A and B are shown apart, each in its own frame.
Chain A
Amino acid sequence: MTLRLVRREKASTRMAVLAPLLALLAAMVLNLLLFLAMGKDPAAVFHAMLLEPFSSWAGFSEVLLKMGPLLLIAQGLAIGFRAKVFNIGAEGQFILGAIFASAIPVYFPQATGAWIWPAMLVLGALGGALWAVVPAFWRVRLNANEILVTLMMSLIAIQVLNYLLLGPWKDPMGFNFPQSVMFQYDAMIPILLPGTRVNVSLLIALFSALLAWAYMQRSFGGYQFLVGGLAPKAATYAGFSEARAIWLSLLIGGFAAGLAGAAEVAGPIGQLQRSISTGYGYAAIIVAYLGGLHPVGIVASSLFMAALYIGGDNAMVSADLPVAAVRVFQGTLLVCYLAAVTFVRFRLDFGASVEGGRV
C-alpha cells in the first residue's frame, strides 16, 4: 500500500475550515511531548494557557485588549499576502505608528480637546504607511525583495525609537528611564467596556475586518489582488498593474499596523516606551495565515492568538513555563497549519483505490 497526495478536483471548503483546528490539535500534541520532556505538568500548562484566559471576565477582557492590534495588523497583511506581496515588517510599521501618534502629546502635553486621540490615530496610521513607502518604492523601481527590505526597515524603526527615547523625547522628570512623558487624558482612547482596559480601538479593528471583507470578497480591487497572487501572467494579460498591487498591499499593511501602534500608545500603555510591541507585527503574520487569509477567519484566529498570549503569561506564572515556550507553541502552530492547508487542495490516497483490483 502506498500513500500519496492527490490533487483534489476542487479546493475543499470543509478542509479549509478544519485545517486550523487540526493544526491546533497537532500543535497541542507536539507541545505536550515538549512539556513532558521539560518535566512540567501538561494538564496544568494547557489549563493555564487555553482555559484560564476564558474563565474570568478580567482575563477575557485582557484577551480582547490584545486581540485589537493583532486583528488590525493581520487584516492589513492578509490583503498583501493574497497578492503574494510579503510584508513582514509590520513590527516596524507598528513602531512608527506609535512614534507618530506620540508626537502630539510629546510636543503639546498641555493640549486638551476631543480631537487629540483621533488625530493621533490618523497620524500613526500615516506613519506606518510612510514606513512602507520605502520597501514599496524599492520593489517597484529596483525590484528589491520586499521581504528583506520590510524586515530591515523594522530594525531601523527600533533604532529610531531608541534614539527618541534616549534623546529628544525622554521624559525630563522620568528618572532617566527611556520613556516619554505620560500622555494627558485627552490623548487616551476612550474605554469601551467599563472596568476593563478595552477601548474603542477594538471597534475600529472589528470595523476594519468588515472593510477587508467587503474589499477582498466583493470588490474588483480585491479581485485584482487575487489574480495577481494566483497567476501573475494572467494579471499582466488583463492589464492589472503589478506596481499598483505592490504599492497598495504595502501601504494598506503599513497603514493598519501604524494604526495599531498608535492605538497601543494611546490605549493601554499611555506613553511611548521601548516595550510598546510584544512582537505583534510578527504574531500577526501567523494570525493572518491561521485565519486562512480570509477576513472572517482572521477574526477568529486573532481572538485565539490573543488568548494564547494571555494564556502564555498565565502559564509562566502558574505552571512555571519559560517565556520561550509560548513562542515555541506559536511557531509549532504555524508549521502545523501550513502542513494542514495542503489538504485543502490535496487529499491522501491510500494506493489501493482500484475496486476489485489485485495488488
Chain B
Amino acid sequence: MSAPLLSLRGMTKGYGPVKANQAIDLDVAPNSIHAILGENGAGKSTLMKLIYGVEAPDAGEVFWNGAPVHLHSPGEARRLGIGMVFQHFSLFETLTVVENISLIVAGTKATLAARIRELGRDFGLEVDPFAEVHALSVGERQRVEIIRCLMTEPKLLILDEPTSVLPPQAVGLLFETLRRLRDRGVSILFISHKLDEIQAICDRATILRAGRVTGNVDPREHDAHDLARMMIGRDMPPPLHPDPVEPGEVRLELSGLDHAPDDPFGVALQGVSLSLRAGEVLGIAGISGNGQSELSRLISGEVRLSEARRDDVRMLGQGVGHLGPGARRALGFAFVPEERLGRGAVPEMTLSDNSLLTAHGQGMLRRGFIDRVREAEFTAACIRDFDVRTPGPEAEAGALSGGNLQKFIMGREISLRPKVLFVAQPTWGVDVGAAAAIRQRLVAMRNEGVAVLVISEELEELFEVCDRIQVMHKGHLSASLDARTTRAEEIGRLMIGADGVAA
C-alpha cells in the first residue's frame, strides 16, 4: 500500500463516563474511498470531529502525509486540505445559501452563485443560491453542505452520513462525483449505514464497535450480511414485506388540500388528497423539497388553517385543519419530524425533559406540576425498549449520537400509543440493526390497528413497510399505488415528474 495520506495512532476521546473513541488507529490511503462502519453511537462522528479539529482528542497522534500535525480548529484542517460535511448541519438558518458558502469560500456572491449552480447541475445537487436556509428542507440543506465542501477543493473529504437524506437518483450522482474526485487524487472518508452503498463505492472499510476498531476489510470482498454482522455482532433480520391486514375506518383524510406557504421559498401544495385507514401503512415518496415539509406541518398542526377550512384536514372523523398540534395529539395523533435536534427534541434539555415535550399526557403532570418520577420512568422505559445507547434519562439530548436520538424520539412517540402515527424519515441515520427494529415496530403498530403514515426518500424502506405509496412532486401528490404490485422504476419516474403529474 502506498504511504497513507492520513494516519491516526491511538486516538482516544471520552465524554465524561462515555468512552467514545478508544485507541483508534486508522490509515487513509491516497485515492481511496474509505468507509467507516459501526452501530449508532459506535463513535464514528466523534472520530471524524477529531480529524476535522472540532473536538480535541484526550490522547493520540495525527500524521498528514507522514508528518505529525495538530489540528486545533476546522480552519487548520481546511488549510491542510480537509473538508467535512457534518451529520448535523452547520448552516446559519437566517442567511442565504450563497452567504453561508461565502463564510468559508472566497469570492464575490455573483461568482459563488454561478459556481453553486454549476456544481449543482454537474452533480445533481440543485439548490437556489439565494434561498434562505431556514426555508430549505433537510435534504436540500444536505446538498448545500456538500456543495460548500466541494467548493473548498479538499484533498480529504469527510462525509458523515451524506446519503441518509438524499434520494436514490441523487445518491447515484453523488457517487459519480465521489469517484471522479477520487480519480483526481482526493481521498474520501465515508460514513453510511447503507451497506450496499459502501460496497458500491468504497475500497476500504474500518469497522468500529463501542469506540474501538474491530476490523479492517475490503468491503467488495464481503457481502452485506457479513458487514452487518461485523458491525452489530449478530445476524440481520430478513426484510419484512408483511401481508396486508383488513384495513378499518378512515383515520386521516386530506381532500384536495391547497396551501400557499407564508415562506416565499416554501413549496405550494396543490390539490393534495390522501386517505389513510386504520391498520394500513401509507408511504409518501419523493425527493425532499417537493412539499413534504409543508405537508407534514399541515398534518401535524404546526401550520394551521382557518376555521372555515377545518375540513381540509380530517383526523379520526373530525375536521382538524384549524386545530394546533396539542389538540390533534389529544385526539390520538403522534408525529416524528424530520428534524430531530431543535424540533423533535430540545438539545439543551435532558432526555427526561424531552419526554415531557409530547408525553406530558402520560400521567406526568399533577395539577400543572411535573411528576419527576413518572417522567424518569417513562424515559427509562423508552431507552430500554428502543435500545437507545446513552448513560440514562439525565443525559442531554444534544449529546446523543444522531441515530440514538432518532431512536429515542421514535420511542417516545410510539409509547404514546397513538391512533394515527406519522413519521418523517423513520430510519434516517439509524444503523441497520436498529432500522430493521424500527420498521418491525411500524408494521407491528399497523397490525394492532394503528394508521401509519410514513414520509421517506428511501424507496426500499417504503416498499418494505408500506401497503400503499403516493409520490410527491412539486407540491402535487400522485394517486395511490399498491406497494406490492408497483415497480420501483414507476415510482422513480413519478418522483422526477416524468409522468406529467405536475401539471
Q: Are B346 and A223 in contact (CB under 8 A)?
A: no
Q: In the complex the two chains form, is B325's CB within 8 Å of A238's CB? A: yes
> Given A233-B343, A354-B57, A239 and B326 touching (CB < 8 A)?
yes
**Contact A223/B353 with A9-B15, A9-B399, A354-B56 known, Cβ cut-off 8 Å:** yes
Interface residues on A, range: 20 to 34
- Chain A residues within 8 Å of B5, by CB: none
- Asked if B349 contacts A354 (CB within 8 A), the reply is no
A236 at interface by CB-CB < 8 Å: yes
Chain B residues, Cβ within 8 Å of A220: 356, 360, 365, 368-370
Mark out the residues of chain B between 75 and 108 whose CB falls within 8 Å of any chain A CB in the assembled complex: none
- Given A236-B325, A239-B327, check contact A357 B70 (CB 8 Å): yes
Q: In the bound complex, do residue A221 and residue B339 qualify as a contact, i.e. CB atoms below 8 Å apart?
A: no
Q: Please, how many angstroms separate the alpha-carbon atoms of A6 and B60 in the complex?
A: 19
Closest to B56 in A: A353
Q: Which residue of B lies closest to A237 (CB)?
A: B343
User: What's the Cα separation between A220 and B59 when bound, in Å?
Assistant: 43
Minimal beta-carbon separation of A356 from chain B (angstroms): 7
Chain B residues near A9: list those with CB within 8 A: 15-16, 396, 399
Q: In chain A, residues 229-275, which have Cβ atoms closer than 8 Å to a Cβ of chain B?
A: 230-231, 233-234, 236-241
Given contacts A349-B56, A354-B59, contact A2 B325 (CB under 8 A): no
Contact of B356 among A4, A214, A223, A358 (CB under 8 A): A223
Q: A220-B356, A354-B61 are in contact. Are A236 and B302 (CB under 8 A)?
A: yes
Bound together, the chains give a CA A231 to CA B353 distance in angstroms of 13
A353 to B61, CA, bound (A): 11
Q: Contact check, B344 vs A237: say whether CB atoms are below 8 A apart.
A: yes
Task: Let me know if A219 is at the binding interface, CB within 8 A.
Answer: yes
The verdict on A359 contacting chain B, using a C-beta distance below 8 Å, is yes
Q: Specify the chain A residue showing the minimal Cβ separation from B364.
A: A220
For the complex, is B167 an interface residue (Cβ under 8 Å from A)? no
Interface membership of A174, Cβ < 8 A: no
- Chain A, Cβ-Cβ closest to B367: A219
Check if A233 sits within 8 Å of B342, measured CB to CB: yes
Given contacts A9-B399, A230-B346, A356-B59, contact A237 B325 (CB under 8 A): yes
Contact with B along A304-320 (1 / 0, CB 8 A): 00000000000000000
| Residues from chain A with Cβ under 8 Å of B339 in the complex | 233
Taken residue by residue from 1 to 23, chain A's Cβ proximity to chain B (1 for < 8 Å, 0 otherwise) reads as 01010100111000000000000
Contact indicator A234/B61 (Cβ below 8 Å): no
Interface residues in B349-370 by Cβ distance below 8 A to A read 349, 353, 356-358, 360, 365, 368-370
The reply to whether B326 and A219 contact each other, CB–CB distance below 8 Å, is no
A351 lies within 8 A of chain B by Cβ: yes
Instruction: Choose among A4, A214, A355 the residue with the greatest number of B CB atoms under 10 Å from its CB.
Output: A355
Q: Are B302 and A237 in contact (CB under 8 A)?
A: yes
Is A218's beta carbon under 8 Å from chain B?
yes
> Complex: how many Å from CA A221 to CA B343?
19
| C-alpha gap A222/B358 in the complex (Å) | 15
Q: Which of B57, B72, B365 contacts A351 (CB 8 A)?
A: B72
B58 CB–A CB distance under 8 Å: yes
A359 to B61: give the CA distance in the assembly, Å: 11
Q: Which residue of B lies closest to A241 (CB)?
A: B324
Residue of B nearest to A232 (CB): B342
Chain A residues whose CB sits within 8 angstroms of the CB of B329 once the complex forms: 239
Verify if B68 is at the interface (C-beta below 8 Å from A): yes
- Chain B residues whose CB sits within 8 angstroms of the CB of A233 once the complex forms: 339, 342-343
* Closest chain A CB from B35 CB (angstroms): 26
Interface residues of B in 272-304 (CB under 8 A from A): 300-302
Q: Is the CB of B347 within 8 A of A354?
A: no
Q: Which residues of A contact B370 (CB under 8 A)?
A: 218-220, 223
**At the interface, yes or no: A191 with Cβ under 8 Å from chain B?**
no
Which parts of B6-20 form the interface with A (CB within 8 Å)?
15-16
Q: Whole-angstrom distance between the alpha carbons of A10 and B61 in the complex?
A: 26
**Complex: how many Å from CA A179 to CA B123?**
76
Chain B residues whose C-beta falls within 8 Å of the C-beta of A237 in the assembled complex: 300, 302, 325, 335, 337, 343-344, 357-358
**Distance of B465 from chain A, by nearest CB (Å):** 23
**Cα distance A11–B73 in the bound complex, in angstroms:** 22
Identify the A interface with B (CB < 8 A). 2, 4, 6, 9-11, 214, 218-221, 223, 226-227, 230-231, 233-234, 236-241, 349, 351, 353-359
The 7 closest A-B pairs by CB, nearest first: A239-B326, A239-B325, A233-B343, A231-B346, A238-B357, A353-B56, A231-B342
A-B contact pairs, 16 of them (CB 8 A): A9-B16, A11-B348, A219-B368, A220-B368, A227-B349, A234-B343, A236-B325, A237-B325, A238-B326, A238-B357, A239-B301, A239-B328, A353-B58, A354-B60, A356-B61, A359-B70
Q: A237-B335, A353-B57 are in contact. List 17 more A-B contacts (CB 8 A).
A: A6-B56, A218-B369, A223-B356, A231-B347, A231-B348, A234-B345, A236-B302, A237-B300, A237-B337, A237-B343, A237-B357, A238-B358, A239-B325, A351-B70, A355-B58, A356-B61, A357-B70
